[in-house]
Amino acid sequence: MPDNVSGRAPAPPQPPPKTWTIATVLSWTAERFEREGVDSARLDAELLLADSLGVDRMRLYLDYGKPLTAEELASYRARVKRRLAREPVAYITGRREFWSLELEVNADVLVPRPDTELIVELAAEFQSERENAAEPMRVLDVGTGSGALAIAIAHELGARVDAVDDSPPALEVARRNAARHDAEVTFILSDLLAALPRGEARYDLIVSNPPYIASAELDGLMPEVSRYEPRHALDGGADGLDVIRRLLAEAIAQLRPDGALLVEIGSEQGAAVAALFEQHGLAAEVKRDLAGHDRVVRGTRRKA
pLDDT tens digit sequence for 95-130: 999 999 999 999 999 999 999 999 999 999 999 988
At 121-169, the pLDDT tens digits run 999 999 998 866 678 899 999 999 999 999 999 999 999 999 999 999 9
- CATH of residue 32: 1.10.8
One domain for residues 73 and 172: no
- pLDDT reading at 16 higher than 50: no
The domain containing residue 146 runs over which residues? 98-301
Instruction: Tell me the H-state helices in 54-98.
Output: 57-62, 70-84, 89-93
User: What strands lie across the sheet with 203-208, from one edge to the other?
Assistant: 185-189, 160-165, 138-142, 203-208, 255-264, 294-301, 282-288
Q: Is residue 15 part of a domain?
A: no
Q: List, in order, residues 6 or more apart from 217 with CB less than 8 Å away.
A: 240
- pLDDT reading at 92 higher than 50: yes
> The pTM is what?
0.89
Q: Is residue 188 part of a domain?
A: yes
One domain for residues 78 and 104: no
One domain for residues 74 and 222: no
* Residue predicted with more confidence, 245 or 18: 245
At 212-251, the pLDDT tens digits run 999 999 999 999 999 999 999 999 999 999 999 999 999 9
One domain for residues 218 and 158: yes
